[in-house]
Amino acid sequence: MRTRRITGVVAATALLAGSAAITAPAEARGGHAPGAPKALTVDDSARPLNVEGVPAFGWMPQDRDPGEVQSAYQLKVSDDDGRLVWDSRKVESDQQAYIEYDGPSLDRGAAYTWTVRTWDRTHRSSPWAKPATFETGISDADWDGAQWIQRAPGGTAPVAVVDGRARVTGGDVTLAKGSADWTDYTIEATVRPHTGGAGIAFRNADRRNGYMWQLSPANGFRAHVQRNGSHTVLATKPLAIVAGQDYRVRIEVDGATVTTFVDGVQVDQRTDTTHATGGVGFREASNETAEFDDVRVTAPDGTVLLSDDFSGELSAWDVAPPGRQADEWTLARKDVPLDGRKVVRARAYVAASHTYELWIDGQRADRGQSFSYPGEGYYQASDVTHLVKGERAIGLGLIAHWYGSGQGRPAGVPGVLARVVVEYADGSTQTVVTDGSWKVTEGPYVQAGRRNGEGEQIEHLDGVRAAALDGWDEEGFDDSAWGDAVVLGTHPVAPFTQLQGQETRLDETTARPVRMLKAEDGTVVADFGKVIPARPTVQFDHGVQGRVLQMRAGYTLTEQGRVATSTLQTQGTNMAFPYTQVDGRQSFEAFTHLGFRYLEIPDAGEAIERRDVSAVVVHTDVPDGQEATFDSSDRTLDEVWDMMQRSALYSVQEAFVDTPTREKGQFLGDAVNISYATMQGFAERDATQQAIREFLASETRFWSGNPNDLGRYNAVYPNGDGKRDIPDYTEMFVDWVWRYYQVTGDRALLEEAYPAIRRTAAYVQRHIPESGPTAGLVTNLSGGSGAYQYGIVDWPAPGRFGYDMDTTARTVINALGVGVLRRTADMAEALGRPETEASSYRTAESELVEAMNTKLRRSDGIYVDGLKADGAQSDHAGQHSTSFAVAFDVAPEADLPVLAEHLAGMGMKQGPMTVHRLLQALGKADRPDAVLRLLTNPDDLGFANILAQGGTFTWEAWTLDAGSNHSQSHGWSAQAAVDVTETLLGIRPDGVGGSSVRIVPPATGLAKASGSVPTQRGEVALSWERKSRGVRATLEVPVNVTARVELPKLAGASYRAVGTTGARLVGTVGDRVVFEVGSGKTQFVPVPR
């Protein structure tokens, strides 16, 4: 936890006697010219290498005088040779962010330098800022003939001998050769399920017809019959099956009778006449993985028909020829001679489906990804100057990882595209592109199947094959045995028809275990102390050639000290990192990440020390030194804050994710919630604007063909399962776009989104009937299916706490509808749309509010869950209904004290998905004491209870229910970090783009708090302490920002504003005494009258 202490008082005072009649203090003193602006950005990035479209400039004005503002600015942009390209001249404006370039067209893929100076309120100018750089991106026509390349389908088959066992990774039936005519026999095999079930096939005349008996941790024993490729379940019997454990199975096939034994105990006997003859084999579905060993088939007379211990090859089995691998790893390389002249600049532009790493002479130059639909993909630009300077030749290497369809990514097709441009001091350039001259081979990974049903693949690095490829990414490597790259075509080519520069990047930091543990059986377990999204790394000193280590990550430990592998403790995910060793010293380095706390390393054959284990923690890149801080008088609250902050940041990698383990998909609801926290907690911008644009693209792709679909957005995007939505997620999107605009002032994105937002408002309005039992209310809002139809309300289902899902006009959906109409009106006004346009939304908003207050409240003012189809009120009045009504300003202000008391008295009766709305409602009702109680009560559901159970990352649900796969790394409730800074600390960003802020220290609850919030215009810092005589507060406000300070009114006392900021008394408003202050430091001190 980073804390901030604010001290120091300077002399200039203003006395307040508790009434608005007191005169305001003198104007802030000044007299100095402003300093040179700092923190120069383009498109909110410090040194972007692929600026798309019109560059937008930003900076932080500097001025040591208090109460200062920026009155004007001047920008200059020069090209790489120092020639002036654009001079904005002096522009009278206080705007310091998203100032758009307005000069001649800029060259593509070119470097530019820019600077800025500002003027203060007395019209004195600053020095020019230290020049900063940016580079423009390249268009689809600027790839200089670069071609998309891939490896031909094939490679390691989904059936392979691994560590003396047959590993089957799914997708088909594998049969023993020559067994199609067998009739009666006994099959024996050692079976080890890993992911999903493990299936033994028998009496299969071919791969499409036969029987399949399966052992599964989820279903126990299951018998299936297969006809023409389709499996039908004959029976399911309870049987305790544990993933990763061996079971000896014996199946006796005698005429129409089949008797089955597991570990010597009969578990099933049945008669079926569908198939009379056929061979034996294995069958795994596409999302299943299992291992088989010591297979033996004997005839009734004892003749051994088949015996295989898999100590050799798979010669006895009819393995289907591999096609396109489900988990495709490709290495591509090319040696490039350089001209030998002085290199001044080198840039690499790379795109891939799905993930790539660029290597230059054995050093990693870049890593990037594109999980988008083809035609919406990204490329990434990187500075590789330092890797080519002084070289006469270089080896270029690419690792391309494509792994089909899954959460967060459509399948697309494998492909990689690269363009490397080297510029020399004499002005000449050399360009290298991917084309048919590149060589490719399969990467050193074993097909290991899926981790779960969400499309994540188990990563099994084969150290033996990797050793054989040593030096592949260096100049001079012998690639004569490699194949020629398959060329898909010159960019742009279908399906890769368009690329855009990616502004987001992954931040990578190394974490070490906080301690090393040893399980009862001697297994070494590394404990990283907290759940982290990371790629594990282990150093071995005494490896053994061919030995497979089954390393495994996890969230919790069993009583015996091993990593827990139950469905609940793993989110239903196989979290193994198998690794095949070579002899001697070596490093295992994972390529893909999971969320985990523990890593076990069984059977290593050597001592594993803390220094041997690490993990590369990955999250989206955020500006350095701009994270929010918080410290208070309540230790539990501080721990909750830390967990929420960490969880928010750790829930964004390549995109916002559901969880970094089970589902790495960008769910709209999750993205909205997490983004609120990352924008305010880390000054994050790029991931949010990327996600907003992606969901806008989802409307175009999936929701534009049918008039009834207009204005809706995918529930997950990009994704592998196509068109699907959740109605309340679509409603949430509108407030998210507005929130982003409020935080950043990025008008261009607001304008871009507004047409879709209007369609979303129309979508809501289409579902408000003019007559009938639910007239005037949003009714059966189209979208979703199953448990999500007409709105998810909260999720997982236990988080609904009995919400009446049989209502057709749901209160939560209507409150969100009010938000849609209100924010659409706000956007119309902000964009200067016709007054009639904005007023039409205001009228619709008011009418919906009136209908809600007329039809959805009980006589005591409490809101019910909605109306039934016949117009009758629901008998259930859940916490959601009232909290949403208050949070969205539907409830009359006069009712807030009663409603807040009702909400506070219920404890925690909303799930993590919507807890922010509960806390927001209590904050609006001025009940910080209730907010504090909900956040810190370890005996009720909530954050403190998670901490009490040993959690270190926010959860998907408040409880880990038996039989569920609820995630223990789910960032959506981290949105509540905003409630901590706004309600319990009292810093409330107010004006567009951070231009103003409200400072509202709470009147009840905490005894003291301090912290800071990064805004678009700089950091606002506040420290306050409540004493018996009132609140003493110290405030720091950045240049060009105005603060409205609202202090609790005192009985028999006054406030003195101490500082040079020229604090101005506004007056007494309700129970608050209000000041306005400008930039600088001000202390507010209670004094007796």
Show me where the domains of the chain are located. 37-136, 147-152+326-501, 159-319, 506-620, 629-984, 987-1088
Write phi, then psi, for 132 (nearest 5 degrees): -120, 165
From residue 60, how far is each of 41, 131, 320, 738, 989 by CA, in Å?
9, 14, 63, 23, 17
- Beta-strand pair 576-580/457-462: parallel
Q: How high is the mean pLDDT of the chain?
A: 94
Residue 927: its pLDDT value, please? 98
Class of domain 987-1088 as given by CATH: mainly beta
Give the 3-state secondary structure of residue 596: strand
766, two tokens: 């289409």
**Alpha carbon distance 531, 511 (integer Å):** 11
**How far are the Cα atoms of 356, 402, 411, 572 from residue 324, in angstroms, in the given order?**
18, 10, 12, 26
Stated pTM of the model:
0.92
Distance, CA of 792 to CA of 814 (rounded, Å): 13
In angstroms, rounded to a whole number, what is the distance separating the alpha carbons of residues 532 and 676?
21
Question: What 8-state DSSP symbol labels residue 183?
Answer: -
568: nearest Cα among 578, 558, 559: 558
Contacts of 616 (CB under 8 A, 6+ apart): 508, 509, 510, 511, 534, 535, 537, 590, 593
Task: Write down the pLDDT at residue 868.
Answer: 98
Q: What is the pLDDT, as a whole number, of residue 286? A: 76
Question: Rounded to whole angstroms, how far apart are CA atoms 1086 and 1058?
Answer: 11
Position 18 scores a pLDDT of: 33
Residue type, 422: V
Q: Which two tokens stand for residue 951?
A: 């959690």
- 409, exposed or middle or buried, with CB in 10 Å at 0-12, 13-18, 19+? buried
Q: Longest Cα pair distance anywhere in the chain, in angstroms?
A: 110
β partners of residue 266: 261
pLDDT at residue number 288: 87
Cα angle vertex 172, ends 170, 173, to 5°? 110
Which helix (H) or strand (E) segment is 748 a member of? helix 747-766
Q: State the CATH class of domain 37-136.
A: mainly beta
Please answer whether residues 769 and 779 qualify as being in contact, where contact means their C-beta atoms are separated by less than 8 angstroms. yes
Find all residues with CB under 8 Å of 220, minimum gap 6, and list them. Answer: 236, 237, 238, 239, 240, 241
CA 930, CA 723: separation in Å to the nearest integer? 41
Rg, C-alpha atoms of the chain: 32
Is the alpha carbon torsion for 871, 877, 880, 883 positive or negative? positive
Q: Which two tokens stand for residue 973?
A: 């409730």
Q: Which fold has domain 506-620?
A: Jelly Rolls (2.60.120)
Q: Give yes or no for a contact between 381 and 366, defined as CB atoms under 8 angstroms apart.
A: no
Top-tier CATH class for 147-152+326-501: mainly beta
Query: Going by DSSP bridges, is the β-strand pair 99-100/56-62 parallel, antiparallel, or unpaired?
Result: antiparallel
The number of beta carbons lying within 10 Å of the beta carbon of residue 7 is 8
Other CB atoms within a 10 A radius of the CB of residue 118 amount to 33
Residue 416 φ/ψ, nearest 5 degrees: -140, 145
| Beta carbons within 10 angstroms of residue 567's beta carbon | 17
Sign of CA dihedral 729, 731, 734, 739: negative
Strands (E), 338-437: 343-353, 355-360, 363-369, 377-383, 393-402, 415-424, 429-433
Which residues pair with residue 175 across a beta bridge? 281, 318
* CA proximity to 790, closest of 817, 810, 815: 810
Question: Using alpha carbons only, what angle is made at residue 485 by residues 483 and 489, rounded to the nearest 5 degrees?
Answer: 160
Residue 36 CB neighbours (<10 A): 16
β-pairing, 99-100 with 91-92? Answer: unpaired
3-state secondary structure of 573: coil
Q: CA-CA distance, 34 to 21, in Å (whole number)?
A: 35
Taking alpha carbons only, the member of 887, 747, 721, 904 closest to residue 814 is 887
Q: Residue 1003: its pLDDT value, please?
A: 95
Q: Confirm if 827 and 750 have CB atoms less than 8 A apart.
A: yes
Q: Please check whether residue 306 is in contact with residue 176, taking contact to mean a CB–CB distance below 8 angstroms.
A: yes
Q: How many angstroms separate the CA atoms of 1030 and 1048, rounded?
A: 8
- Report DSSP letters for 913-963, one per residue: TTHHHHHHHHHHTT-HHHHHHHHH-TTSSSHHHHHHTT--S--SSSS--TT
d(Cα 787, Cα 790) in Å, to the nearest integer? Answer: 9
- Which residues 6+ apart lie within 8 Å of 46 measured at CB? 39, 40, 132, 623
Q: What is the spatial distance between Cα 745 and Cα 760, in angstroms, rounded to a whole number?
A: 22
The label of the residue with tokens 């000193």 reads 541
pLDDT digits (tens, 9 = 90+) for 525-583: 999 999 999 999 999 999 999 999 999 999 999 999 999 999 999 999 999 999 999 99
How far apart (Å, rounded) are the C-alpha atoms in residues 543 and 540? Answer: 6
DSSP label at residue 557? B
The Cα 545–Cα 747 span in angstroms is 60
The 10 Å Cβ neighbour count of residue 1069 is: 12
- CATH class, 629-984 region: mainly alpha
Measured CA to CA, the distance from residue 911 to residue 934 in angstroms comes to 12
The phi-psi region of residue 695 (left if phi > 0; otherwise alpha if psi is between -120 and 50; otherwise beta) is: alpha
Instruction: Note the CATH architecture for domain 159-319.
Output: Sandwich (2.60)
Query: What is the predicted pLDDT for the residue at 732?
Result: 99
250: β partners? 188, 261
End-to-end C-alpha distance for the chain, whole angstroms: 39
| Chain position carrying tokens 């084999």 | 281
Distance CA 125, CA 1033 (A): 33
Closest CA to 656 of 715, 703, 614: 715
- Please say whether the beta carbons of 824 and 757 come within 8 A: yes
Q: Please tell me if the domain spanning 147-152+326-501 has the same topology as the one spanning 159-319.
A: yes
SS in 3 state form for 94-121?
Answer: CCCCCEECCCCCCCCCCEEEEEEEEECC
Question: Which residue reads 């490597």 in tokens?
Answer: 477
**865, two tokens:** 């869950």
Task: Give the Å distances, CA to CA, from 698 to 709, 723, 901, 1054.
Answer: 12, 9, 41, 56
Helices (H) and strands (E) in the chain, counts: 16, 59
The tokens for 14 are: 């203003």
- Quick check: 284 and 290 in contact, CB under 8 A? yes
Q: Give the whole-angstrom CA distance, residue 413 versus residue 282.
A: 28
Q: Write out residues in the chain with pLDDT < 70, as ranges.
A: 1-30, 171
The CA-atom distances, in angstroms, between 394 and each of 384, 389, 472, 681, 892 are 12, 10, 12, 42, 70
Give me the pLDDT at residue 16, please.
35
Q: Is the dihedral of CA 153, 158, 159, 160 positive or negative?
A: positive
